[in-house]
């Protein structure tokens, strides 16, 4: 019985965390930079895996709808320093 209760508490906590992260991402979608945790995260274009983008583009209106890996107009939030290190990436706007 106690094991079941622990699992329920863990599941509830995980759901609350996921909801708070989704809310933070949605509220910051109009900006290129957001504050998340201890550091700033930027929209990093050209590095999203198929189906793993963070938000809309001119081709679709939702997260998770990238049709191909590393599409120039698809983006994910990540630390600026990491984005700058990745090949074919651009910070804040799609590469041309």
List Cα–Cα distances, 28 to 36, 50, 87, in angstroms: 10, 22, 25
> Which pLDDT score is estimated for 69?
94
Distance CA 13, CA 19 (A): 10
Share of the chain above pLDDT 90, in %: 34
Report, as an integer, the average pLDDT of 85-94.
86
Which residue reads 């939702």 in tokens? 62
Which residue reads 């939030």 in tokens? 77
Strand blocks (E) in 1-96: 33-36, 39-45, 75-79, 90-91
Domain spans of the chain, in order of start: 2-91
23-45: pLDDT as tens digits: 444 444 446 666 655 678 999 99
pTM over 0.85: no
């Amino acid at each position: 019985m106690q094991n079941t209760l622990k699992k329920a508490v863990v599941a509830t906590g995980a759901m609350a965390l996921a909801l708070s992260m989704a809310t933070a991402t949605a509220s910051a979608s109009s900006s290129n930079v957001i504050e998340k945790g201890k550091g700033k995260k930027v929209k990093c274009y050209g590095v999203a895996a198929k189906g793993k983008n963070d938000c809309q583009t001119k081709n679709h209106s939702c997260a998770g709808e990238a049709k191909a890996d590393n599409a120039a107009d698809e983006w994910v939030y990540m630390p600026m320093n990491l984005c700058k290190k990745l090949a074919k990436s651009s910070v804040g706007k799609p590469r041309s």
